Amino acid sequence: MPASEIKDINLAGLGKQRIEWAEGDMPVLRMIRERFRKEQPLKGLRLAVCAHITSETANLATTLAAAGGDCLLIASNPLSTQDDVAAALVKEHGLSVYAIKGEDVATYSKHVRIALDHKPHLIIDDGSDLVATLLQERQNQIKDIIGTTEETTTGITRLIAMEKDNQLTFPAISVNDAQTKHMFDNRYGTGQSTLDGVIRATNRLVAGRNLVVLGYGWCGKGCAMRARGLGANVIVTEVNPLRAIEAVMDGFRVMPIAEAAALGDIFITVTGNRHVIDGPHFAKMRDGAIVCNSGHFDLELNLVALEEQSTGKREVRPLMEEFTLKSGNRVYVLAQGRLVNLSCAEGHPASVMDMSFANQALAVEYLVKHKGKLKAGVNKLPEEVDQEIATLKLKSLGMHIDQLTPEMNEYINSWKSGT
């Protein structure tokens, strides 16, 4: 058995079943895996994968292993690991996994260092903790790095900051910028899995409730759309005027959080920014308000400020804490402010992760094929990769679309004919 740190190897049987169930809805990744098995594009290369250890990620890991890669996996979040999946990856697939649901921050940090001890040539990062640690503590390993891929909006913002600071001296691929990633994973994946997390954690009816979505990026759009579908009265908060207009025209009420705080029954943060729900906002909330975060890091809610104005807190359901404020009002926080969709539910469904992880797998292959030729810093995946993934996904859904006729093709490529 490979070196690992997981909760319980005896959970492997259940994990195996869940990995197979996810695989059934990941046809694009399966096709890539078959090609990789024949072509062995990662032969002889070591990979460190920092990701949510889910049944979908397991299918990415087995794809990279089928390509000849020597993969070690760590959790990208202390609460998102599916312990049965981690066990199956170790027992059934022989992969090294360092991930335990509920691990503390010290263990999480230890696992980041273990991943770097694997001496990776390639990094698959989710939030950029691996790359940030590499740059700060393992400069001597940078010469061996071919590149990194990053699939979160948060991680890419961080990579851009590293690049501006002249620290990112190897290529990174911004998988999140692929259309087949953010249009589906961020919107439909986050939309469904976040509401799933809120519902599994609380078992509250959403219909008729005021649900506040903070941030109207792709993830915010998905959450707002799905909350409306469940009958919520959705309020959106934004700092970007364009996105705010978009939310208005999509039919949502838009207002500052200082006003929304007093109206919401349920709050979901998806901004990628810090303390978007702050002390004064908690103070204004209705008795019984439910607050959670679906952005990558656990800093969107200022829980220190909430605690300071509380007279007590207790766990009232799994991953749900009740804070009693000095006013007597109670505020319920889900998953300690960590990703509610992965902590309280199972993350995005396999069908969208199929496209996200197809992008990850093809991005890693692209890095290897273009070794030494890509610029240091953040690179996009070529448009053709997006087109290929979209085409394969449509085909797997049994759908056919129209093709441009020669006449249409000629028209859109010329400028001469008008009215």
Angle at 347 between CA 30 and CA 320, to 5 degrees: 160
What are the φ and ψ backbone dihedral angles of 3, each rounded to 5 degrees? -60, 135
User: Helix 383-396 to helix 350-369 angle, to the nearest 10 degrees?
Assistant: 140
Nearest approach in angstroms of CB 193 to ligand ADE is: 6
Residue selected from 177, 348, 362, 365 as contacting ligand ADE according to rule CB under 6 A: 348
Nearest approach in angstroms of CB 371 to ligand ADE is: 26
Asked whether the beta carbons of 83 and 101 are under 8 A apart, the reply is yes
Binding of ligand ADE at residue 347 (CB under 6 A)?
Answer: yes
User: Which residue from 120, 123, 143 is spatially nearest to 131, judged by alpha carbons?
Assistant: 123
**Which of the ranges 101-109, 296-304, 312-320, 347-355 carries the binding residues for ligand ADE, by CB under 6 A?**
347-355
Which is closer to ligand ADE, CB of 97 or CB of 353? 353
Binding of ligand ADE at residue 296 (CB under 6 A)?
Answer: no
Tell me how far apart the alpha carbons of residues 250 and 74 are, in angstroms, rounded to a whole number.
Answer: 39
| Strands, E assignment, 194-269 | 210-214, 233-237, 253-254, 266-269
Scan residues 180-199 and list those touching ligand ADE (CB under 6 A). 189, 193
Binding of ligand ADE at residue 353 (CB under 6 A)?
Answer: yes
Which is closer to ligand ADE, CB of 15 or CB of 189? 189
Residue selected from 26, 27, 56, 122 as contacting ligand ADE according to rule CB under 6 A: 56
Q: Encode 123-134: b = buried (16+ Cβ within 10 Å), e = exposed.
A: bbbbbbbbbbbb
**Which of the ranges 264-272, 282-290, 342-350, 390-398 carries the binding residues for ligand ADE, by CB under 6 A?**
342-350
Residue nearest to ligand ADE (CB): 347
Nearest approach in angstroms of CB 268 to ligand ADE is: 15
Q: Return all residues near 312 (Cβ < 8 A) that are at least 6 apart.
A: 323, 324
Binding of ligand ADE at residue 97 (CB under 6 A)?
Answer: no
> What distance lies between CA 21 and its chain's CA centroid?
20
Which is closer to ligand ADE, CB of 57 or CB of 343? 57
Q: Return all residues near 183 (Cβ < 8 A) that are at least 6 apart.
A: 218
Tell me how far apart the alpha carbons of residues 158 and 383 are, in angstroms, rounded to a whole number.
Answer: 23
| 415 class by beta-carbon count within 10 Å (0-12 exposed, 13-18 middle, 19+ buried) | exposed
Nearest approach in angstroms of CB 29 to ligand ADE is: 12
Q: Encode 92-107: b = buried (16+ Cβ within 10 Å), e = exposed.
A: ebebbbbbbbebeeeb
Binding of ligand ADE at residue 57 (CB under 6 A)?
Answer: yes
What is the pattern of x (binds ligand ADE, CB under 6 A) and - over residues 132-171?
----------------------------------------
Which is closer to ligand ADE, CB of 56 or CB of 177? 56
Nearest approach in angstroms of CB 23 to ligand ADE is: 13
**Which of the ranges 49-57, 104-112, 269-277, 324-332 carries the binding residues for ligand ADE, by CB under 6 A?**
49-57
Which is closer to ligand ADE, CB of 65 or CB of 260? 65
Asked whether the beta carbons of 136 and 119 are under 8 A apart, the reply is no
Nearest approach in angstroms of CB 339 to ligand ADE is: 8
Q: Which residue in the block uniquely carries the two structure tokens 């001597």?
A: 140
Nearest approach in angstroms of CB 335 to ligand ADE is: 14
Residue selected from 26, 42, 54, 71 as contacting ligand ADE according to rule CB under 6 A: 54
Binding of ligand ADE at residue 41 (CB under 6 A)?
Answer: no
Which is closer to ligand ADE, CB of 134 or CB of 342? 342
Q: Facing residues of 367 across strands?
A: none
Tell me how far apart the alpha carbons of residues 236 and 214 are, in angstroms, rounded to a whole number.
Answer: 6
Asked whether the beta carbons of 332 and 288 are under 8 A apart, the reply is yes
Binding of ligand ADE at residue 78 (CB under 6 A)?
Answer: no
- Give the residues lining the site for ligand ADE (CB under 6 A): 51-52, 54, 56-57, 189, 193, 342, 347-348, 353
